[in-house]
Each structure stands twice: as C-alpha cells, then as structure tokens.
Chain A
Amino acid sequence: MSGALNLLVGLAMGLNLLALGSSRLPSIIRAAAFQGMILGVLPLLLGHGFHWAAVLVAAGTMAVKGFVIPVLLQRALRAANIDREVEPLIGFIPSLLIGAGATIGAVALAGALPLRPEHAGSLLVPGAFATLVSGFLLLMGRTKAISQVCGYLLLENGIYLFGMLLIRATPLIVEAGILLDLTVAVFVIGIIVDRIQREFDTLDTRKLTSLHE
C-alpha cells in the first residue's frame, strides 16, 4: 500500500517537471489535471478502511480537478483564442533544473523533519514541497495568465498533498469547501482571461502592472 502511494506521489512529482518543461499550454493543463486526478486517488490508498467520506473526497477531487477545471480552462483557451505557445520568463531548462533541485531538496528536507513514524517513509511531505515549489515556479516564470492558473493549480495540489497528512482530522466539509473555492477561482479566472484578451489583445500579464480608473 505504501508502495502504491509512493508510486503515485512520485508520478505526481514527475508531472511537476512535465508541467515545467512543456512548451504548450494544453499540455500544462493536462499535466495539472492528471496530477489532480492522481492526488484524488490518494485518500483511498491512505488506509483507515473503506470510508464513505474518503470515497466522496476522492470522487469529488477527481471530478473537479480532472474534468471540471480542465474543461473550464480549455474553454477559456478557445474563447480567448490564444496562441498555444508558452512564453517563459524562466527558460524551460532552467525551470526543469530548478524543479529537479527543489524535488531533491524536498526529499532531503523531509528527511530532516521530525515526522511522525507513519509518515517518515512516505513521499507525501517531499511530494508536497516539490509540488509547491513547482507551482510557484510556474506562477513566477510564465507570462501567460492560463499558465499562471496552472501554477496556481499545482500549488493547490501541493497543499492538498500536505493535507493528506491530516486526512483523519480534516472534516469533509473543509475538503468540499476547498474544491468549491478552487472551481470558482478557476471559473473567475476564465472570465478574467477573456477580459484581458479583449482589453489588451494578449494574455501577457506583464502588461498588467498599473492600476487605472
């Protein structure tokens, strides 16, 4: 069971790098969505029996992160008629290397942390750190609003992964609230993307630097 868990978290860590290294927007969206679906399976693997709350959380997460949010993003992409190219501020190879360094650093950091014995062997904590850093990199290093949304999704995935440590203590309502927030946020960003596109004819967030009436 721990092996399957570690495999899935490792896959999610690989998807971080895929998102950092890919040069097309749809593939970043797909990577974030796939990662969300992988993370959705985790509550079922974490043990504590086959509980209906865990199943509900898993199903909800997979549905929202795997289908609803990517569809929203794809629609925004289509509606705004954006180029599919990612314009990086930090190049692909540097971001890949930083991401890999962050992953290794996360593993080392998790080794140094005084974790509970049942969490010490798992990749949950390093995976969470690595995903957080990758999300931040994607947020900082890409100019297009859609790729920044994907960075935000990755960030949320990292926090979700961290929340797996608390799976027993977190009530279902919190999970549901987070998912709802996420969906609404992506929905709103989809609208904003459309507005930016109409206003500036581009999605480059570098132009959004000053406030006007």
Chain B
Amino acid sequence: MTTALAIVLRLAVWLLLAPLVPGIINKVKAWVAGRRGPPVLQLYYDLGKLWRKGVVLSTAVSPGHIAGPAVAWVAILGAALLLPLGPGGAALSFRGDALLFIYLLAVARFCTACAALDTGSAFEGMGAAREVSYAVLAEAAVITALLTLGVQTGSVSLAQMLAPSAGAGAALLAAGLFTVLLAENCRVPFDDPNTHLELTMIHEVMVLDHSGPPLAVILHGASLKLLLFAVLLVEAVLPIGELPPVAAAGAMVGAICGVAVGVGLVESLLARLAFRGVPLLLTTAFLLCLFALLAAWKGSQEEAGKARRAAVPAAATSGSREASTPTSATAVRELLRLGQPRAGASKRQCISPVAVACACPKPFARLARQVRLDRIALDVSDGPRLLIGVAHVGVPVIFRPEPAPPLQNFVRLMGRELFPRLNDLAHRNLVHLQQDMNVVGHDDPCAQPVALTMKEAQRVFHHSGHRFLTQVARAPALVEVGFKLQTSLPVDFDLEKMHPFAAEFGGKTINKPERDELREPRLVAVRQITALVPATKARLGVFVRNRRRPLALARDEVAQTGIVWRLRETPSGAVAHGAIEARGGQGCKLLEAEWRAAVPAAETSPKQVGQTSAATAASALPATATIPSAPGVGTLLRLGQPRTAAWKGAGA
C-alpha cells in the first residue's frame, strides 16, 4: 500500500512539475530579449487546450502513429520513476536500473521516430533520420556519464550512483551532460524549438502531423524529458544524497531552476550551429564525459593502490619474520603438506604475499607476470622423483641485476629466461653454459651459509673494473636456484645513477653508501628457490668446473660447497655473472669468517663495512667484497670494490 502510494506521489510530482521547466526557460528568454513573454504556466494552458481538441489524422497513417507518442510518453515516465527525486528517493530502484534507464530513453526515441516515419512524409522522415543520427553520439555521452558514476560509486543502481558528487571529474561531467541535455531536448545549438519552417529543424519536424491529444502527450513528454535530464545533471554533479533532506530538496530545486535559466541564456545568446558542426559539439560532449570517466577511474585506482600499499607492508613484515626463523623441520612439513610439485604449484599460489609491490617496481608487462615472480613453479615432470617444489618462504635475495644499459638503449623489453628442468640440470656439463643456476648439493637439510657471488657488469665510464658481490645467506635446502630477470624496462631518469662514475671527473668520491636500495626503480626482486634433489643426482656433475672431474662429495663437504656461477653473455654484450666458482671447505669457512667480521661493522656504518670487507677481501679473495645480509630481510647492500681510484677518494 505504501509502495503504491509512494509511486503515485512521485508520478504526480513528475507529471505536474514537468511543464514548469519550459515555462521558466521561455520566461528567461523573454527577459533577456526585453519582452514580457508568456506566463510561466503557458504550457499547462496549451496542454489543456490540446487535450480538448479533436484529432486530425492523415489517411496514410497506421494505428502506430497514435501509439508511438503514447508509448514514448510512458517510456519517459518510466525512466523518470527510476531517477531518485532528491531526498525522496526513487519510486523504483533495483540493481542495474541504470541500464533500464538508458533503454527506456532509447525506446522513447525509437517510438517518436517511428511515428514520424509512419506519416510517409519525406519531411518528417528527414527529421527522424537527423534525430537518430544525433542520438548515436548523445547516447554514447549519456552512457559514458553513467559509466563514470558507476565507476565512481561502484554501483549500478541509479539511487546509489547519483547520491554522492561526481568527484574529480564533476566539472567535465557537468559540461558534458549539459551539452547532452541541449541535444536530447532539441535546444538551441542543435535545434530551435520555436521554428516550424526551416528545413534544418529536427524535433519539431517529427511532430508536424500530430494534433490534439497526441500532440499534447508529445509536448508533455518533451517537458518531462527536459526535467529528467535536468534532474540527472543536478544529481550527478551535486552530492544531493549526502545533504540533510530539507537542504537537499532546496539545493535540487534551486539547481534545476539554475539549469533552466542556463538553457534559456544559451538559447538567447547563441545561434544554432551549422548542421555540420553538430557532430563535433556532440563528440566534444562525449569526450568530456569520457575524461570524467578517466578521472573517476584514476581516482578509484589510486584508492585501491593506497589500500594495497597499506596492506602489503603488514604482510611483508609478517612474511619476513617467518622467514627469519625458518627451521628445516617447518620447511619440510610445509613441503609435505603441499604434496606433489604440480599440484602444489597451484596450491602454493595462496601461501603468502611477498613484499614485491613495495620492494621493487612492477614488471613491465602485466600483473600476471608479477604474480609469477614471487611464486615460481618448478616445472619438473620427469626426472628426480624426490624433487619437490620449494615451500618455505626462503631467503629473499635481491640480486642487483644488470645496471642500466647505455643511454641509447635504455628502454627495452623485459627479457625472459626459461626455467630449466632440474633433470637436465643434474647432467649438465660445459655445453650448457647459458643458464644462471646456483646449485648446492646436500642430502641432509639444515641451515647453512650459502655464498652467492656476483659480478657486476660494466657501466658507462667503467670499463676496466668488475665488481663482485658475495652474499651470505641461510638456506635450509639443497638446491638453490638463482633466478634472474633482465631489468624490466629500466626507465631511470636519475642521471647520477646512469653515470655513476661521473663524479670521478669532478674529483669527488664515488664511494657513497647507498641505503634503501629496494626503492631503486631498476632493481628486480628475485626469489630464491630451493628444492630437494637426491644427493646422488647432485653429485653427478653439477659441480663440474672446467674439465675437472665431478666432485665426489662427502657428506660434510657438501655443506661447504660454494655456489656455482656460470658465465653468460647478455644481449647487450655485458658480462652478467661471474665465472664458475666452486669452493672447497676452506673457501666457505673463509667466507663465514668474513661474514662474522662484517656483521658488527654493518651495524655501525655502511662505509666501514666497505672498508672492512674490502680489507678482508683484498687478503683472501681479490676483487671480492663480502656482503653481510640479515637472512630473510630483503636488503641489498652494495659495497665498494677495491678500485684504486675509488679508494683514494674514500681515504681522502
């Protein structure tokens, strides 16, 4: 009962108030022209007069000629009922009523055009053709405007879409919708509602053959449409739904009157556009709405990004805390829980978010690859049966990838490196030198120091020196797979970074400690993957260096085997990695000693680390610096290499 009452009340509001709007417009026009003009209620009188008159019908018309205006009127009224009336809300509201709104308007237009075509007059057919061809552009603008509101509010119900303000693109949306209002209601820059004689008129020419009550229905429908678009414009732009009811009602009435006055002013001050100029203006309206959509989309994207940034650090800290105290038992348990590698690959997708988004730049291509970065699935079909994909959170090792290439090709696409099957890996010999694969054999998983060595590629102004990085990490598993991507589109506009040694020529030091390396745009986070392989397989030939025989490693020796690196030429010709370096137990112990020596220094200052490590490196491993890295924390410390020029500067 109350629903019916609400519908009837809103119907009455729409029906009774609609003819007021053309009256206001005419009054404004008369005021600008200095006339007294017709009374504001003139359209009511006209409608009453027309209703009492008889109908004159052409002999050529079908019953559709009468039905067209009636259906159009009902369709417009239905669309009006879907629009919320300010604080009163909509008579009907459901999810997706925005679509129905657009279609009802289209039905109304179709019926008017059909009724015009039904007369068989070429004149009216021309008007219908023009109406429809303009509507193509105007409708696109309306749809875009509604899309904007939908993106803005995340809803497809008119009542919720129209409640808040349009946000960033409100001005654009207002301009676009106002232009659409003028076009849809055949107002001045597009059509002249007063003329009945010119060949270029659109709407009036379609209703020339109507008379009596059908004409009254058409006129009332036109005023209803005008009010409808005014309400749409006002509610889209103003935050009607967020005001208190009385203020909202006042604001709405005032704004609709303002729109009417604006239409009147436009009609008085502008001439009608040339026929060819109309599509340009309508395209402009469409573009205005499109840019409002863009602004809304950007806004919602930024909000989502903010939410994500707020969420990721929390996940990252928790992840690193887990990773900092991994025990082999938990890792194995997790491995077993996750089961088979292939099935586990999909399950592991949901293990834990790793702080990628905040630690490294997005990969160039798309989100799908970004996802793949932190969850690398080992593709092992045949081959070692014990091999299971890595489950533990691992030691996130951030490699320093290739530095920015020279200026002329500083933009290039992301390289891709195929992940070799570990079976091939087990039998690899010198022929396969193209993979970057670090393998440590072990048959008794426990925490052990793993040394990673990498040599930096050459840079601009840096032709002779190589830089070695050694990283001590803790890994409780057997096979370490270093996975390296090429720099993903290193668009780095920091000239200091691109010419790191430019300062040398100015006599300054280059040995500046760098902190917060993770925020560098050209660093790519690389996950380290560990997996279990049978020790027998591991002994077969993984550790072959040059022509040496395969190492028959005893149990305790395996733990101390160094990391294997292989030379690899990048497409740009730079050396990406150092040479194979399999160390015996002595080297590993030495590394550990270095690590212990460097850790306290790291806590004091990065510069001192550089000196300490360089001192030890100079004695033990020429051109090698030791990087202490707190396990589990994805930090990368870059240390100075013993380069004479550099150290001169540092010493000074």
Is A113 a contact of B364 with CB atoms below 8 Å? Answer: yes
Is B364 a contact of A104 with CB atoms below 8 Å? Answer: no
Stretch of B487-495, B525-533, B610-618 that contacts chain A: B487-495
Is B287 a contact of A112 with CB atoms below 8 Å? Answer: no
Partner of B298, one of A107, A115, A116: A107
Is B493 a contact of A112 with CB atoms below 8 Å? Answer: no
Contacts of B366 in A (CB 8 A): 112
Which B residues between 351 and 379 are near A, CB-CB below 8 angstroms?
Answer: 361-366
Main secondary structure of the interface of A (DSSP, over half): helix
Closest to A123 in B: B298
A17 on the interface (CB 8 Å rule)? yes
Is A92 a contact of B519 with CB atoms below 8 Å? Answer: no
A117 on the interface (CB 8 Å rule)? yes
Q: Distance in Å from the Cβ of B363 to the closest Cβ of chain A?
A: 8
Q: Bound state CA distance, A107 and B295, in angstroms?
A: 10
A77 on the interface (CB 8 Å rule)? no
Stretch of A93-101, A141-149, A150-158 that contacts chain B: A93-101
Q: Distance in Å from the Cβ of B35 to the closest Cβ of chain A?
A: 34
Is B294 a contact of A104 with CB atoms below 8 Å? Answer: yes
Q: Distance in Å from the Cβ of A198 to the closest Cβ of chain B?
A: 33
A54-95 contact mask (Cβ, 8 Å, vs B): 1 or 0: 000000000000000000000000000000000000001100
Q: Distance in Å from the Cβ of A189 to the closest Cβ of chain B?
A: 28
A21 on the interface (CB 8 Å rule)? yes
Which A residues between 173 and 190 are near B, CB-CB below 8 angstroms?
Answer: none
Given A114-B362, A114-B364, A121-B302 in contact, is the A93-B279 Cβ separation under 8 Å?
yes
Contacts of A165 in B (CB 8 A): 493
How many B residues touch A, CB cutoff 8 Å? Answer: 29
Is A114 a contact of B494 with CB atoms below 8 Å? Answer: no
Contacts of B301 in A (CB 8 A): 111
Closest to B523 in A: A114
Which B residues between 395 and 413 are near A, CB-CB below 8 angstroms?
Answer: none
Is B284 a contact of A21 with CB atoms below 8 Å? Answer: yes
A11-25 contact mask (Cβ, 8 Å, vs B): 1 or 0: 000100100010000
Q: Bound state CA distance, A115 and B494, in angstroms?
A: 11
B89 on the interface (CB 8 Å rule)? no
Given A93-B280, A112-B364 in contact, is the A107-B489 Cβ separation under 8 Å?
no
Contacts of A10 in B (CB 8 A): 295
Is A169 a contact of B280 with CB atoms below 8 Å? Answer: no
Partner of B491, one of A21, A96, A97, A115: A115
Is B283 a contact of A97 with CB atoms below 8 Å? Answer: yes
Q: Distance in Å from the Cβ of B298 to the closest Cβ of chain A?
A: 7
Contacts of A93 in B (CB 8 A): 279-280, 283
Q: Distance in Å from the Cβ of B207 to the closest Cβ of chain A?
A: 29
Q: Bound state CA distance, A103 and B295, in angstroms?
A: 12
Given A96-B287, A114-B488, A115-B491 in contact, is the A21-B362 Cβ separation under 8 Å?
no
Is A169 a contact of B364 with CB atoms below 8 Å? Answer: no
Q: Distance in Å from the Cβ of A147 to the closest Cβ of chain B?
A: 17
Contacts of B287 in A (CB 8 A): 17, 96-97, 100
Is A169 a contact of B279 with CB atoms below 8 Å? Answer: no
Q: Bound state CA distance, A114 and B358, in angstroms?
A: 12
B290 on the interface (CB 8 Å rule)? yes
B521 on the interface (CB 8 Å rule)? yes
Is A107 a contact of B294 with CB atoms below 8 Å? Answer: yes
Q: Bound state CA distance, A117 and B516, in angstroms?
A: 13
Q: Bound state CA distance, A116 and B496, in angstroms?
A: 14
Closest to B306 in A: A121
Is A92 a contact of B280 with CB atoms below 8 Å? Answer: yes
Q: Distance in Å from the Cβ of A100 to the closest Cβ of chain B?
A: 5
A166 on the interface (CB 8 Å rule)? yes
Contacts of B488 in A (CB 8 A): 114
Is A112 a contact of B362 with CB atoms below 8 Å? Answer: yes
- A residues contacting B by CB (< 8 A) are 10, 14, 17, 21, 92-93, 96-97, 100, 103-104, 107, 111-117, 121, 165-166, 169
In the A-B complex, list the 9 residue pairs whose CB atoms are closest, starting with the nearest.
Answer: A114-B361, A169-B495, A100-B287, A93-B283, A114-B521, A165-B493, A166-B493, A116-B521, A96-B283
7 pairs of residues in contact across A and B, judged by CB atoms under 8 Å: A21-B280, A107-B294, A112-B365, A114-B488, A115-B491, A121-B302, A166-B493
- Given A103-B294, A114-B488, A114-B521, 19 more contacts at CB 8 Å? A21-B280, A96-B283, A96-B284, A96-B287, A97-B287, A100-B287, A100-B290, A100-B291, A103-B291, A104-B290, A112-B364, A112-B365, A114-B363, A114-B489, A117-B519, A166-B495, A169-B494, A169-B495, A169-B496
